Structure 1
Amino acid sequence: MRHIAVIGSGPAGYYTAEAAQKAFGDQVRVDIIDKLPVPFGLIRTGVAPDHQSIKAVSRRYEATALTENVRFVGNVAVGRDVSIHELIDLYDAVVLATGAPADRPLGIPGDDLPGVIGSAAFVGWYNGHPDHAGLAPALDGGGAVVVGNGNVALDVARILAKAEAEFAGSDIVGHALDRLKAGHAGDITILGRRGPHQIAMTPKELGELGELQRAAPVVDPADLPPVEADAALEPGVRKSVTHLRDFAGRPASDKPIRIVFDFFARPVRIEGDGRVERVIVERTELDAAGNARGTGETYAVPAHLVVSCIGYRTPPIEGVPYDEKLGRFANEDGRIVPGLYAVGWARRGPTGTIGTNRPDGFAIVDKIAEDTHGDSGKPGRAGLDALLAERGAEVVTFRDWQRIDAAEVARARIGSPREKFVAVEDMLGARG
């Protein structure tokens, strides 16, 4: 029997568990440990609430979770309830699947002013993550700046711009919807330090901005390269640039919100008297290698809210080697130290899609198969249960989660699939 502990119940964690089942059959026991009482990681708290079709992948993880040799161990935090070294002593393999839930800082003067928010925190706020439920973003019409040219920037801009009716069918949490209803952030400027050909925005997400009820996307035609240059692009990027060309060709709109794509622009400082009031932006140009360099020309963009969507980092764990430069655990193809592995964003950094984590999980299990040989005699889950009981940890099982899930569905507003609990104590109280 092999005993495997997976830290983190998001896509990377469940794909690793699925891979272990396929590799070892009934000769494996997998414990998926998460600090929250609810599973599925970024599927629950990272995917945009109006993209329910993407969240449906959790049904696949549920099928894995309900098997005999995989279990969910919720409300158990590494460092608080159990240490990494204790887990290595208990299990044949410990796999870190913690993702990258921390924001990369902007690293410019003024980025600590009230009103500057990282996308992990902002997305966590409207998705009901307990760590971010108390956020109070400024939505008083003073303008918003979104820094970044990827899909997260599009998600943030879209959520800020949507009218209440456009959230029908989404699971945006009530506190966020109420705040968005009460006012809007004014014009939304999306800053990208390079040009349209360098965006990391996918066609579907970009196209959604052109269909909003109260907001219109704005692209300066002068920022677009000659149309014949699009032929050299990858097909997906070419489709995205086609959307930008469509936006650039539209007549001026009378909708109350503009979503302005400001290309060749990078923030150099944020100013304000006690809170964000403006972002100072430097105009950029591309060098021969396609990198952005400053031109020295600066201008101000008014804003009472700045959301930074420039990437994420994996938080360090005491006792685990860490790569500060890359913001992830130090590893060689997933191996950290004997008995300890990393998978998903914790291994490679915040790149790829949800589906990218599946082959990653299978690759890590192949390494576990190479490194372990049958029954080591380690106690696995029995040892963990004894340790957690001794420490008085309040463990949440997958059956408990199903009761929490049912309670969230029962309290949903009309047209929404659920109303999430945003406090851990409320999740625990919903177990019945």
Structure 2
Amino acid sequence: MGTRVVVGLSGGVDSSVSALLLRSCAQKLNLDVHGVFMHNWDTEGQMCPTASRDYQDALKTASQLGIPLSTVNLTKEYWTRVFEPMIESLENGETPNPDIGCNRWIKFGAFADLMLNRKPGTEYNQLRARIMEEIEKCALSPDPLPLPKPTSAKWNPTPSITTLIGTADFIVTGHYARIGLDPILSRPVLKRALDRKKDQTYFLSTISHTSLQQTIFPLGNLQKPQVKQIAARNGLDHVSKKRESMGICFIEPGEKFGDFVGGYIDHRPGNFVTMDGEVVGRHDGVARFTVGQGARISGAKGKWFVSGKDVDTGNVTVVPGSTHPALYRDSIQVRDWVWIDAQEPTELSTNKSMKGMLKIRHQSEPVPVKFRSSKCLTTEYSVYFEGPQLGIASGQHAALYSTNDICLGGGKIK
């Protein structure tokens, strides 16, 4: 059978090119490449329209590459592990990020646990390094990549997922991230992608090193324009020209997040108030706002921004101008912290504090911080910025990096 790699095919260009690169070096490396479409959200027992369209694109990719495509239903796991906690967080006035939970509990949790064989003693690090070396050679090819044909006349293009359970040596996704190796512990470490604008380690900052051990990120050393060029050069026009998804599987194109979650929570309309308690307007739901966001107030002069909110009263506190001191914080507390390596870095456990780089949103660059242990809890920490940071909200995700771009872990801002 060779080395079995299972690619999470989402119907987008990134996962499609990841599968293409693996398929192109399959013969040389004796790789057995399979695609799997993760069905994470449905409507009345059926795939929602977006998922159905994505599945058709994934099926077309698999057909062009000559690999089988199975489907795995993880809707129950997604509802319990990702969607319900997100709704609870919104009801508590927080600003959650469901992509964090999806990666931790679904793609690198339930899916990885279902697919991977977890063979003890296997040299996964060496094998991954060899595969990545060949992938990068294929990515540099100016010509269309040669693809081997299915070897069996009885080849099934859409086999049952049961045939793959517990058989994969690696899972593969189209995330922009890299996997390095800790020289001391010989464990895999999560590193930022070469394309810093597309780097997705922020979303991956709470996955475990055990899943990372048997994961491949083919796009970690590529730029997004390169990926689209590879797709176009190899006839994957249905994904190379496809509009990028917003990443949240339950939101249909054109649908607003606030409108969708309104079917599951009480938005609690209320007042816009100043820091002195003066009512300056009305809003249609406290859950629609987060700290740092602009607030449209009828009849108000100038621009106003959200500095806080109270889910009990429905009040959203606003301040004039984007440079108001109430919008900035020079320190935060983080909770529910997860270390990718399952333990604190040596410097932190020894000294109770360490310097690092903290990322508080996907699109921002990490900033220098001092990270300090809590006296009581091993999952709570204090973080001190070198300079004030704008628009930090409770429930927002934070990811910590070393000074050499290794993602160490992540957690929620209190």
**Do they fold alike, i.e. is TM over 0.5?**
no
Question: What's the TM-score once normalised by structure 1's chain length?
Answer: 0.27
Larger fraction in helix: 1
Larger fraction in strand: 2
Tell which has more relative contact order, 1 or 2 (C-alpha 8 A, sep 6+). Answer: 1
Question: What's the TM-score once normalised by structure 2's chain length?
Answer: 0.28
